[in-house]
Amino acid sequence: MIVTRFAPSPTGRLHVGNIRTALHNWMWARRLGGRFLLRLDDTDRERSTEENAETIRSDLDWLDLTPDDSVRQSDRFSLYERRFEALRADGHVYPCYESAEELELKRKILAGRGLPPIYDRAALALNTDAIAAYEAEGRRPHWRFKLDHSSPIAWDDLIRGPQHLDPKLLSDPVIRRADGSWLYMLPSAIDDIDLEVTHVVRGEDHVTNTGLQLQMFAAMGSAPPAFAHEALLVGSEGKLSKRLGSLGCDAFREEGIEPLALIALLARIGTSLPVEAVADPATLIESFDFARFGRAPARFDLEELKALNTRMLHMTGFATVADRLPAGMDDAAWEAIRPNLNRLSDAADWWTVVENPVRAPVAPEDREYLAKAAALAAGADWNDAVWKTLTGILGAETGRKGKNLFLPLRLALTGREHGPDMNALLPLIGKQRAVARLESAAA
């Protein structure tokens, strides 16, 4: 069974980068008939809130990325404690007593010598008396995982290919603070083991973390998941953008973006496949393959998303959106109005044009023409060809052509210069309203 997980911290809202990570984990699980898990990394008790957790869940639901199951790290502390004690007994973790200020001083000294800021493992040399002296001062230790320096760290990344890290060039990672609270690294590895996660899809900024965690898996006697590290998102200008950190589901909803449009874009940017309008996610899932991901940053363009959203609205069937359309708007109305929509909320605006009186800016020289149109409309057979019939007669009788023939009628009937095809729109407006609008404009 393939198992993937999305592991946000409920310290804030999801942004477009988080959403892309969630989507790719969901797609991989769905493609292979597996399970997609939500793991809330809420070990930071001061910053994690239930409100943020609920927002994350509701955003995933809105995107139709609802997980098959969810867990919270705050419910799993006893499991972390057991694993920690086992690692401690085996000598894989060790206590350190340096203060934050002392560690910063060490880093500055190394930097001044042009050396990388790697922890010097001074805590391993502490004897019993030194530890007792620190304890007497009231110091409590933070804990580090002891990396194995005997061989390089290597794995075959599903996107980046063969990866190698030299553990001697890495600091032993802090896994637990002096107050007993957990940092990300060890609980995440413990959860991946316990939840039987088979694949971890995340950003390339986690590559070093993966190397460190691979040694944690080995120390706990467990095989690691497969890892896929994807290139990070950049803005349309080609640089990492602070704005991307503020683009979340709320912002997309305000822009009138449909969830499937966002999914269609995020599924393909950064890959060799074209971004295209789709009717459902099945096509995206079927073609999802880590071999198609590139190493270059994935460029996210909000304008491209808006254009894609428009194209997808124009191919959306009535049944898909029926419950979100104005009361009384039926299949025929949707077919007439749909080609003019950039966002679904625009449908209500056009339905107002159909049902409610309009204010038409009429040129004086067009009033006689509109009076003739009103008389013809009043006597016309009202069917799907009424616009063609009406304009055909008016053209023959008045000699008007093109814009002079059509625009005054459109303005009188809709109050606008542009809009849906009048062949489809006029039957929706109906005979009574159409005649009244033409007479009002003529007057």
Maximum CA extent, the chain: 110
- SS3 string of 104-118? HHHHHHHHHCCCCCC
Class of domain 88-176: alpha beta
Work out the angle between the directed axes of helices 185-194 and 207-219 (0-180°, nearest 10).
60
Q: What percent of the chain has pLDDT over 70?
A: 98
Class of domain 1-75+231-315: alpha beta
Tell me the Cα Rg of the chain: 32
Left, alpha or beta for 399 (phi > 0: left; psi -120 to 50: alpha)?
left
**pLDDT at residue 323 greater than cutoff 80:** yes
Q: What is the pLDDT of residue 170?
A: 96
Per-residue pLDDT tens for 52-92? 999 999 999 999 999 999 999 999 999 999 999 999 999 99
3-state secondary structure of 416: coil
**pLDDT at residue 240 greater than cutoff 60:** no
Q: What is the pLDDT of residue 241?
A: 60
CATH code for 364-442?
1.10.10.350
**pLDDT at residue 219 greater than cutoff 70:** yes
Cα dist from 262 to 2, 7, 24, 312, whole Å: 25, 20, 13, 11
Q: Tell me the mean pLDDT in the region 121-145.
A: 95
Confidence of residue 46 (pLDDT cuts 50, 70, 90): confident
Confidence of residue 1 (pLDDT cuts 50, 70, 90): very high
Mean of the per-residue pLDDT values of the chain: 94
Phi and psi of 91, rounded to 5°? 80, 20
Can 1-75+231-315 and 364-442 be said to share one CATH topology? no
Q: Which two tokens stand for residue 417?
A: 């210069």
Q: Tell me the mean pLDDT in the region 224-228.
A: 98
Alpha carbon 215 to its chain centroid, in Å, reads 31
Q: Tell me the mean pLDDT in the region 5-20.
A: 93
Q: What is the pLDDT of residue 239?
A: 60
Per-residue pLDDT tens for 158-203? 999 999 999 999 999 999 999 999 999 999 999 999 999 999 999 9
**pLDDT at residue 242 greater than cutoff 70:** no
Cα dist from 84 to 69, 124, 125, 143, whole Å: 25, 18, 21, 10
Per-residue pLDDT tens for 287-298? 999 999 999 999
Per-residue pLDDT tens for 140-155? 999 999 999 999 999 9
Q: What is the pLDDT of residue 360?
A: 81
Handedness of CA 168, 170, 176, 177 (dihedral sign): positive
Phi and psi of 3, rounded to 5°? -130, 125
Domain boundaries, the chain: 1-75+231-315, 88-176, 318-355, 364-442
153, 215 Cβ separation under 8 angstroms? yes
Q: Tell me the mean pLDDT in the region 345-358.
A: 94
Kindly tell me the number of DSSP H helices and DSSP E strands found in the chain: 19, 12
Q: 402 exposed, middle or buried (CB, 10 Å; 0-12, 13-18, 19+)? A: exposed
Q: What is the pLDDT of residue 236?
A: 74
In 226-380, where does DSSP find H-type helix?
249-254, 259-268, 282-287, 302-313, 318-321, 331-337, 346-355, 367-379
Q: Which two tokens stand for residue 180?
A: 């007993």
Alpha carbon 342 to its chain centroid, in Å, reads 20
**pLDDT at residue 237 greater than cutoff 80:** no
pTM attached to this predicted model:
0.90
- Which comes out higher in pLDDT, residue 238 or 184? 184
276, 284 Cβ separation under 8 angstroms? no
User: Which DSSP state fits 12?
Assistant: S
**pLDDT at residue 44 greater than cutoff 80:** yes
